[in-house]
Amino acid sequence: MRRIPRWPAALVLLAALVVPIREAATAAPPSGSDGRSVIVQLFEWKWTDIAAECTNVLGPKGYGGVQISPPQENIVLPQRGYPWWQRYQAISYQLESRSGTRAQFAAMVQACHSAGVKIYADAVINHTAGTWPTDTRGSAGSPFTHYNYPGIYQTQDFHHCGRNDDIANWNDAWEVHNCELVDLADLATETEYVRNRLVAYLNDLISLGVDGFRIDAAKHMPPGDIAAIKSRLNGNPYLYQEVVYGAGEPVQPSQYRGNGDLIEFRYGQQLGAAFRNGSLASLQNLGNGFEPGDSSVVFVDNHDTQRAGALTYKDGAVYTLANVFQLAWPFGTPVVMSSFSFTDNEAGPPSSSDGRTNDVTCGSGWVCEHRQGAIANMVGFRNAVGSAAVSNWWTNGSNQVGFARGDRGYVVVNRDSAALSRTFQTSLAAGTYCDVTRGEVRDGACTGPTVTVDGDGRFTATVPAMSSLAIHHLAKVSSSPSPSPSPTASASVAVNVNATVTTWYGQDVYLVGSIPALGSWNPANAKPLSSASYPVWKATLELPPSTSFQYKYVKKAPDGTITWESDPNRAATTPAGGTLALTDTWR
């Protein structure tokens, strides 16, 4: 089978759109009411590594979900060097792959849920595998041929389009839906038997706690087939569909809107073009002419496009700045890519000579873009600003831009070779704020640069060349001087915490929350509780008066492992004076 980019005719550069600015829409946060709307694609990571990442990085940084690689049994191709795309050729629906076993998969889902992070599986349901030698086996050892998967599918369960093996005419909707995509056996998803198989597979994943699915190659299934499968899924899984826009083609993303969200490829194309060799000023209207923002999933790059000319980690600071902009701009549900490094577009993840994937060690073949300070902290920025609209847009007409997100945040992106020094207008309250692209709040102080917003919402700053600045209302480290409080006002309120939590020997319990006094969701800055009255853990904390906040309890093990209690976040408001009691039980 020849191997070509999986979307041979579909990655079309978007022409510049000249339309009036409108307020960009925001997709419903896939992680629910806690405001965590950012997904990270941990491409080709093992389940054990994802579990640890959820606990130690993703949960604390505020990521809402993980897109995982296809979990089903797939072909194994040592003769091709175990390429990444072997994961997209399904052999059976056993949960055995180089990412791990079924048991490891289930443990990963549980660990991520405990950290407040949801799991979205890449679902390969349009096709099975291509034509390979008869001794080729699946990752669980299953034999197969192109149209025969013993005990699962036989010849009658596939389309045999009769015109040509592969799709030849992308302007023929029947071919797009019924002919083969690069020789991959095309499932007859209109038949009851095939639908039963696919529904059973997806419901099995749902039974293990999977929260939703990226529907791979959705463009090659009629919308009605996907709707029929979705209608039989248990619960209400989140779906986002891979339907690549092609100008003038008969199969369009809009035809799939009723089935779930849509992956908006044009977003990354326009964003990447502006950052690579265009003008950031053109991004004032980013999202106009695309699928609606409240049903779009967007990215700078993904596993396909980073092998087809997209902006990637290889572009260095430009790539980082593009991610900062994406996370600040209120369009769609953003997906942050986390790659392994590659020079060969077909190469698989870092692995041993027999194809076993290596443990993740960032910098040793694993890029880990999602951990990069500016990107990871902008996840918190997006969570903090929520659905606030864009305002106070500023640009030098070229590659320096700044804009507010209502009264909740402000971001500056300088993709210029010279530093940017000026005064910016925000709607933020007066005070000193931490620049979260170059630091973070710890123990009420900023580890990087700060800016001071005056009483009129203005601040003056210098943003270095090829750099950025972002501040938000939850990264405020001090307030401007104000009149002395009246004799009855309190500088702080005593909060008495009583939490019933069962632990094993060596574990400790902490409280972490949304305000700096509670660590700004960073478990490293969480407040310790005393076990003297075990199983009731206690503490008296001093918090600012008349302040609303969210919080959770976390357990810390001697080896540093952190366990978060389950969603949703708890919420409380301190009174103007006196005390507040928090009496809770771990959940």
CA-based angle 513:514:518, to the nearest 5? 45
Please tell me the distance from the alpha carbon of residue 37 to that of residue 474, in angstroms, as a whole number.
Answer: 17
User: Measured at the alpha carbon of residue 461, what is the angle toward residues 328 and 451, in degrees to the nearest 5?
Assistant: 75
The one-character DSSP state at 293 is G
The active-site residue, picked from 49, 242, 304, 440, is 242
Query: Which residues have a Cβ under 8 Å from the Cβ of 32 and sit 6 or more positions away?
Result: 567, 568
Selected catalytic residue, list 49, 157, 216, 304: 216
Main-chain dihedrals φ then ψ at residue 391, nearest 5 degrees: -150, 175
Answer yes or no: 242 catalytic. Answer: yes
- The Cβ-side half-sphere exposure at 114, using a 13 Å CA radius, reads 20
**Distance (Å, whole) CA 491 – CA 474:** 19
Would you list the DSSP string of 412-462? EEE-SSS-EEEEEE--PPSEEEE-TTS--EETTEESS-EEEE-TTSEEEEE
Whether 153 and 187 have beta carbons less than 8 Å apart is answered as yes
Long-range contacts of 229-236 (CB under 8 A, 24+ apart): 229/125, 229/189, 229/195, 229/198, 229/199, 229/202, 230/259, 230/260, 232/195, 232/199, 232/203, 233/199, 233/202, 233/203, 233/206, 234/203, 234/206, 234/207, 235/206
* Number of helices and strands in the chain (H, E): 9, 28
Positions marked active-site = 216, 242
